[in-house]
Structure 1
Amino acid sequence: MPGIVPHRHCVVCGKAIEPDQIYCSDECEQAMNKERKRQRNMMILMFLFLFALLILIWLPRF
């Protein structure tokens, strides 16, 4: 039985690709960049929301 050819899987779609690649196509790379940007924006939004909530809690009541 022959051995398995060295390979990796695309981190977006899971297709088998060459060991030195990360994505199988430009579309998958763009999809990953879009997802990373969405996650970064969501994290910034959550930190801003938490900061605003802490400010509201700690503000002295007039």
Structure 2
Amino acid sequence: MAVEKHSHCIMCGVSIPPDEILCSEKCREAYTKKRKKMIRTQQIYLLIVFAVIAIFILTKFF
């Protein structure tokens, strides 16, 4: 009794064909929304890091 090759939806875990990563349009929309939020959070974090580094550099020279 062999299990067919498959993968799981990265959002909800439902069994799907091995060449897909998402099971439905609902999961695709949720993934897109989550990805955009994650990218935005990373951009804000990098901006804060660069600002802190710039402040340290500027205060060291003045």
Q: What is aligned with 2:29?
A: 30
Task: Using the TM superposition, give the Cα deviation of residue 10 of structure 1 relative to its aligned residue in structure 2, in angstroms.
Answer: 0.4
Q: What is the TM-score of this pair, normalised by structure 1?
A: 0.83
Aligned residue pair count = 60
Q: What is aligned with 2:56?
A: 57
Q: Distance in 1 between matches of 2:41 and 2:13?
A: 25
Q: What is aligned with 2:40?
A: 41
Q: What is aligned with 1:12?
A: 11
Q: Where do 5+ consecutive residues of structure 2 fail to align? A: none
* Percent of matched pairs sharing the same residue: 33
Where do 4+ consecutive residues of structure 1 move more than 2 Å? Answer: none
Superimposed CA distance per residue, residues 23-53 of structure 1 (whole angstroms, 9 cap, x where no aligned partner):
1101111111111111111111011101111
